[in-house]
Amino acid sequence: MDFKGRDVVSINDFTLEEINYILDVAEKMVPAARGEEALELVPGKLLASLFYEPSTRTMLSFETAMKRVGGKVIGFSDVSSTSAVKGETLSDTIKMVEAYADIIVLRHGREGAARMAAEVAEIPVLNAGDGAGQHPTQTLLDLFTMRQELGHLRKKSVALVGDLKYGRTVHSLTYALAKFGVHLHFVAPEALQMPPEVVSHLVKRNSGFSVHEDISEVMGEVDVLYVTRIQKERFPDEEEYHKVAGAFRVDNSSLEGCKKGMIIMHPLPRVDEIAPEVDDTKHARYFQQAFNGVPVRMALLSLLLGADMGVLK
Ligand code: NCD
């Protein structure tokens, strides 16, 4: 399998076998991700971390990952300090950054921005979220978490809850889970249901899914409850947001009747979709999930930079 020099724009850039391979490599990265051992897989390589939209986990875990495999990081997270405010185009910024770094991670508010950057740059570009488009590296860490907790994914049942329209994490995750043969339940108010292009992809593949407006309809049968934030910043109109804000709140009482081994995931940040009391239940996995961003991104950065993985145990 050859990953060297590739871009990661959409989760569909990977086959099922490639995804499993990345997750296998990520497993080997866990001790170094925890700081228990030091790796020098990409000595002297530079990651350019370009965040045009706010981020905590994605940005910090990419930076941690790059440093944990022996690389270095440059970049920005405050667009107001860059030449974008002077009117520089994204394309020009990418052409220039390409001359400074070996790999680029980009988060941008515009859907398709990562695709454009990948076309402009010769070096690998990783999409860390493009508007309401995709978030493929989040999906890899989500899959890693599910595999870790459930053993395998085949025939499992996953409910995606919340903002399925504007949430990029659930778009990428749906494409990936369909590859794994997972049965999907889309739980959202009608106005925030999965976009038609995602649904038609499932129909074409004959992938099993069902649509719901109430979590209680699926609580008893799912192995994973994947909860998401309503993406306030993507609503064209604040009033529309207020109509659906708080549509779902998972608390201990809503978990009644769930499978014993069901896990609750969330890409974070949460606002009020999961009550803090749920954190203390045996179902909560969202903080573990956030940690998993480090080994998964270590694996991905090393593979794309062509590191010699022979040194891994
Ligand atoms: C998500 C995102 O930015 O799409 N966060 C993340 O990367 N973990 C989810 C969100 O903002 O709601």
Q: Which two tokens stand for residue 124?
A: 């690998």
Query: Which of 111, 138, 170 should be mutated for ligand 1, with most atoms under 8 A from CB?
Result: 138
Which ligand 1 atom sits closest to the C-alpha of 53? 3
Instruction: Give the Cα separation of 104 and 48 in Å (integer).
Output: 5
Tens of pLDDT, residue by residue over 70-121, are 999 999 999 998 899 899 999 999 999 999 999 999 999 999 999 999 999 9
Which residue's CA is the nearest one to ligand 1's atom 11? 269
pLDDT over 90, % of the chain: 95
What's the whole-model pTM score?
A: 0.97
Residue 86 designated active-site? yes
Residue closest to 239 by CA, chosen among 170, 196, 191: 191
Tens of pLDDT, residue by residue over 128-155, are 999 999 999 999 999 999 999 999 999 9
Q: What is the DSSP letter of 32?
A: H
Map residue 130 onto helix, strand or coil. strand
pLDDT at 313: 77
Q: How many CB atoms lie under 10 A from the CB of residue 53? A: 19
Q: How many CB atoms lie under 10 A from the CB of residue 113? A: 24
At position 129, the amino acid (one-letter code) is G
pLDDT band at 247 (very low <50, low <70, confident <90, very high): confident
Q: Which two tokens stand for residue 66?
A: 């790059």
Tens of pLDDT, residue by residue over 212-229, are 999 999 999 999 999 999
* Per-residue pLDDT at 274 exceeds 80: yes
